[in-house]
Amino acid sequence: MRKMILLIGLLALTVCQQNTTVPLTREKAMELRKKMIEQQIMARGVKNPLVIEAMRTVPRHEFVPRDIRSNAYNDQALPIGFGQTISQPYIVAFMSEHLGVKPGDRVLEIGTGSGYQAAVLARIVDTVYTMEIIPQLAERAARTLQHLGYKNVVVRHGDGYAGWPEKAPFDAIIVTAAPPSIPPPLLAQLKTGGRMVLPVGEYVQELNIIRKTESGLHMESVLPVRFVPMTGKIQQKNKQD
């Protein structure tokens, strides 16, 4: 009996040790980011040096809940609470590259989430204006970005369907939640010559690149994706239609 109790105790100790979150050191995080860049991003064709350097610089693990930070540099999306996720690193890099941003640009992001995508873009552009409909996520992302010293990211709690008209027009707009159709207010707030990258669809989603030119809008579908749905006014509008 004593041996059985001892064995159960040892098994319980083993399980506890396996479930203990090992904190990432600065050196380990840098090593994992280097592998992420090489194996997940560059190996899949992302070439823009500005995007690659931004992904190399931004500490992704700081935007991930503490209990799963050991998975921060894995090739996967991760839960951040409230039914939302931080996107797979490759998708963040892919969308950033196809957004075509450059130093001096002003960008609107719809769907702040963890704040990671905004941080990546903030390493490239002049200012990122980012909107999040879930107040707790907006507050958390703002705290994280402030803690990490991102002074060129402005976080706002609100429904992204209407965009941010008082800060428009924008050189680029990125949407990280999938609407069933493209919100007209966002198109109106995009500069002529600018780009919008967003997933569109419900059960089947496609990542779309929209270019706004003097002659009109040019849309290209580039990748099948799976994002959380855009919530708020667009859902109500979709039900009415």
Radius of gyration, CA atoms only, the chain: 20
pLDDT band with cut points at 50, 70 and 90 for residue 204: confident
Please answer whether residues 84 and 134 qualify as being in contact, where contact means their C-beta atoms are separated by less than 8 angstroms: yes
HSE-CB at 84 with a 13 A cutoff on CA atoms is: 26
Taking residues 203-215, what's their average pLDDT? 94
Closest CA to 227 of 193, 211, 210, 204: 204
Asked if 178 and 228 touch (Cβ cutoff 8 Å), the reply is yes
Q: Answer positive or negative: Cα dihedral of 148, 64, 224, 169.
A: negative
Q: Which residues pair with 197 in a beta bridge?
A: 174, 209
**Domains of the chain as residue ranges with CATH:** 25-240 (3.40.50.150)
Which residue bears the tokens 């979709």?
238
CB atoms under 10 Å from CB of 14, counted, come to 10
User: pLDDT-derived band of residue 233, with 50, 70 and 90 as boundaries?
Assistant: confident
Residue 37 has pLDDT above 80, yes or no: yes
Whole-angstrom distance, CA of residue 101 vs CA of residue 160: 20
The span from the CA of 148 to the CA of 61, in Å, is 12
Per-residue model confidence (pLDDT) at position 24:
80
Contact 141/109 with Cβ under 8 angstroms?
Answer: no
Instruction: Please say whether the beta carbons of 63 and 119 come within 8 A.
Output: yes
Tell me the mean pLDDT in the region 62-86: 96
- The predicted structure's pLDDT at residue 241: 54
Could you tell me the pLDDT band of residue 119, with boundaries at 50, 70 and 90? very high
Beta-bridge partners for 157: 132
- Say whether pLDDT at 55 is over 90: yes
Instruction: Name the nearest CA neighbour of 198 among 158, 229, 170.
Output: 229
Checking if the pLDDT of 133 tops 50, the result is yes
pTM of the model: 0.88
Active site residues: 87
Residue 229 in this model has a pLDDT that exceeds 80? yes
pLDDT tens, position by position, 167-188: 999 999 999 999 999 999 999 9
